[in-house]
Structure 1
Amino acid sequence: MANFYCEYCGTKASSIATLTTSSCQHHPNGSNKGKHKLYEGSEKTKYSCKYCGTSASTIKNLVINSCHRHPSGSNKGKHAVAL
């Protein structure tokens, strides 16, 4: 059975519908001000930030930390998962 993940927070769901109908605590517009966004990449053993290359074993562990190379400025945004 496939798993589906939120690109913003790493929440895991068993269906796309279940994932994308729920509010996301880490949405870019603010906590619970938007829905989860489907991560469209495949499941991996390591996930990397598309801005700086930092890696983590889960999407959740990657995106909870600030990125020093974020386009908004150093530590002004979170890591973003590379596909």
Structure 2
Amino acid sequence: MANFYCEYCGQKYPSVSSLTASSCSRHPNGPCKGKHKLYEGSEKSQYVCKYCGQKYPSLSTLTASSCSRHPNGPCKGKHAPAL
């Protein structure tokens, strides 16, 4: 059975419909101001931030901290997964 992950918070869901049905606490517009977004990459042993190249063991740990090289400025956005 496939797993579906949110690109913003890394939370795992059993289906795309269940993922997109609820609000995301790490949405770029703010907590509960948008739905989860489907991560379209594959499951990996390590995830890399597309802005700074740091590696993390899971999507949830990658998206939990601020990125010093985020396009909005240092500490003004979270790490984002590279596909």
State TM-score, norm by structure 1. Answer: 0.98
Q: How many residues align?
A: 83
* Residue ranges of structure 2 left out of the alignment (5+ in a row): none
State the Cα deviation string for residues 11-61 of structure 1 (Å, max 9, x = none): 100000000111100111110111000000000000000000011110000
Q: Any residues of structure 2 matched to 1:26-65 within 5 Å, and which? A: 26-65=26-65
* Residue ranges of structure 1 left out of the alignment (5+ in a row): none
In 1, Cα distance between equivalents of 2:27 and 2:16: 17
CA RMSD of aligned residues (A): 0.5
- State the Cα distance separating 1:76 from its structure 2 match: 1.1
**Runs in 1 of length 4+ with deviation above 4 angstroms?**
none
State TM-score, norm by structure 2. Answer: 0.98
In 1, Cα distance between equivalents of 2:46 and 2:26: 21
